[in-house]
Amino acid sequence: MTQPSMNVQGAIDLAALAKAREAATRPVSQQAGGSSFVKDVTAASFEVDVLQQSMTVPVIVDLWAEWCGPCKALSPILEKLAAEYAGRFILAKIDIEAEQQLAAAFQVQSIPMVLAFIAGQPVGLFQEALPEPQVREVIEQVMVAAASAGANGVAGGEASNNDSEPVKSDPRFDVAEAALESGDWDAAIAAYHEVLKATPNDSIAKIGLLNVELLQRTDGIDFEETLALGASDAETQMKIADVEFICNDFAGAFARLVDVIRDQPESQPVVRERLLQLFDIAGPTDPAVVKARVALSNALF
C-alpha cells in the first residue's frame, strides 16, 4: 500500500467577499452522525460548511455513496477521529448520488475520495479505504498544514442558541467595505493591501482584492458596446472577458482567454494571470472553472 501524501490542488477556494459574508448568515446545517463535528454537506451549504469553516479549522471532505463498500469501512474511522479531535477539524460528508453537482465539480471518478480544505484551499488526501493508523497520520499532516496557514482554531462543540444569527463583521475589513460601498476602488484596494501586509495568506483579503480590481477595470464601461467589439488583440479580449465574467458568463470568459493563450503566445503570461485571477474569484468548485482548467492545460501543453 502506498504511503498517503498531501497534494495542494487548485486555486484559493473562496467566492467573492460579499458572497461569502452573505452566505455566512445561514443557520448551521443539519449535523450528521450525531456529532456537531460531522456535517452532511450540500451544494447549498458548501460555501459556509466547507469554505468559510476552513478559514478557522481544516475541513476534511469525505465523498461517499450508500452503495460504496469501502466507504462504509472508512466513514466510521473518519467520524471517530472527528469526535476525538473535538473541533480541531470538521468532517464534511458529501453523498455524491444526492449531490451530483459537487461530484462533478470535484471530478469524482472513484470513491471513497477524501480531501481537505485549509484556509479556503483544496488539498488532495487519498482515494482508498485506509486503516485507522494511516488515516490518523494523514489527519496529523493536515493539522500541521493548517497551523502553517493560520487555520488551527477549534470549532464549537455544540450548536449554540445563537447559530441562526449572522456572523459579526470582521473589523479588519471595515475600511475596505466602507470604500466599496462608496465606490472608492483605490481606497478599497489600499485597505486590502494593508490587511495582506499583516496576514499575507488571508484568502478573504486576496479574493476581495481581486474583486475590487475587477470592479475598477469595468467601472464606466458600456457592456453592450464592449461585448460587440471585434478586435482580437489580447487587451481587448481581456476587456471583453471581464464583462462576460461580471455578467455571470464564466464559461464564455474562460473560453475567450484560453483561446488567446493558445493563439497568441506572446500574450500568454499576462492573459494566463488574468484567467487565474478569475478562476480564484469563481472558486475551484464552479463547473466552468473545472472545465476551463482542462482547456487551459491543453492550450499550454
Residue 94 forms beta bridges with which residues?
63
Residue 95 forms beta bridges with which residues?
64
Of 12, 20, 60, 68, the active-site residue reads 68
Q: Is 247 a catalytic residue?
A: no
Separation CA 92–CA 185 (nearest Å): 37
Of 71, 103, 151, 234, the active-site residue reads 71
The residues, any chain, with a CB within 8 Å of residue 164's CB and separated by 6 or more, are 27, 28
Q: What is the dihedral of CA 28, 250, 248, 271, to 10 degrees?
A: 110
Residue 115 forms beta bridges with which residues?
61, 124
Separation CA 85–CA 270 (nearest Å): 44
Separation CA 58–CA 80 (nearest Å): 16
Instruction: Write out the catalytic residue numbers.
Output: 68, 71
